[in-house]
Structure formats: C-alpha cells, structure tokens
Amino acid sequence: MSALYTARALATGDGRDGQARTDDGRLVVDLAAPAEMGGSGSGTNPEQLFAAGYAACFHSALRLVARRAKADVTGSSVRAEVDLGAIGKGAFGISVRLEISLPELGAEEAAALVEKAHQACPYSNATRGNVDVELTLATEEAAA
C-alpha cells in the first residue's frame, strides 16, 4: 500500500480515562470509560470514536461508488453502532452495525451500492475477517 495520508494521535493519562489529541491539534478529546463499564461517562471513549470514524469513512466510500454509478444519494447517511464485549480469556473485542439510509434509491439499487461501498471502505477492509460487521438499509421511518 502506498500511503495517501497519515493520521497521528497521542493518548495520555490512564487509557480510557485520559485524553487523546491529534498532532495538528484539531481533535482534542477527554476520555472516560462509559458508566456501563463502571466509569464516569464524563468523556468520550474509543468505541464512540471508532463508530464516528467508521460512519464517516463508510459514508465517504458510499458517495464515491454512488458517483461512479451516477446514483442519487441525496439525503444519505450512515449510523454506526460499536459493541465492546468480552471474547474470553481476559480479551475483548468489538462488533459493528452500520445502518445506511439512501432515501432516493430503491432497495435493490441501494443494496448494490452498500455492498460496493463495503468493498471500497478502508474501515471495512481493515475489519474484514476479524470483526463482525452487520450492514442494514434503514427504512424511511427509522431514518427520520
């Protein structure tokens, strides 16, 4: 792979209870374990950051493949949910659900674009084979 861009970030403090910042200073976040895991919940957490990154990356890939297919993705969106859980022997893993809304497209065309985006998205390629990723098309009611 030939790198087109390199992101750099530094995490300090006590892991989930600390701070993360990018080298350019554009992103600075206080980190805190979620209340569901016994933390204060007063900051963001790695799973939220991963969900935001995956949703944005997948949406970008979706818009790219739609442009190539001359498909109308007006009003499109991607919602990501990232679960963190124990996978045994003191290890943890994540799973991902992406809900894609393509209100201007029929179900068949939307499903084809979603699959093409899943092949193009760097996050999808990075997680393929080791993270469960579920893709669903949003219904109009759910997307509202």
Domains and CATH numbers, the chain: 1-44 (2.20.25.10), 46-137 (3.30.300.20)
Residue 80's closest CA among 102, 105, 59, 111?
A: 59
From first to last of its 144 residues, what are the pLDDT tens digits of the chain? 899 999 999 999 998 899 999 999 999 999 999 999 999 999 999 999 999 999 999 999 999 999 999 999 999 999 999 999 999 999 999 999 999 999 999 999 999 999 999 999 999 999 999 999 999 999 754 544
Query: C-alpha distances in angstroms, 11 versus 16, 17, 118, 128?
Result: 9, 10, 29, 26
What one-character DSSP code corresponds to residue 44? Answer: B
CB-based contact 100:78 (threshold 8 Å): yes
At residue 139, the pLDDT reads 78
**How many residues are listed for the chain in this entry?**
144
Does pTM top 0.75 for this prediction?
yes
At residue 143, the pLDDT reads 46
Residue 76, classified by CB atoms within 10 Å of its CB into exposed (0-12), middle (13-18) or buried (19+), is buried
User: How far is residue 38's CA from residue 79's CA, in Å, rounded to a whole number?
Assistant: 26
At residue 108, the pLDDT reads 96
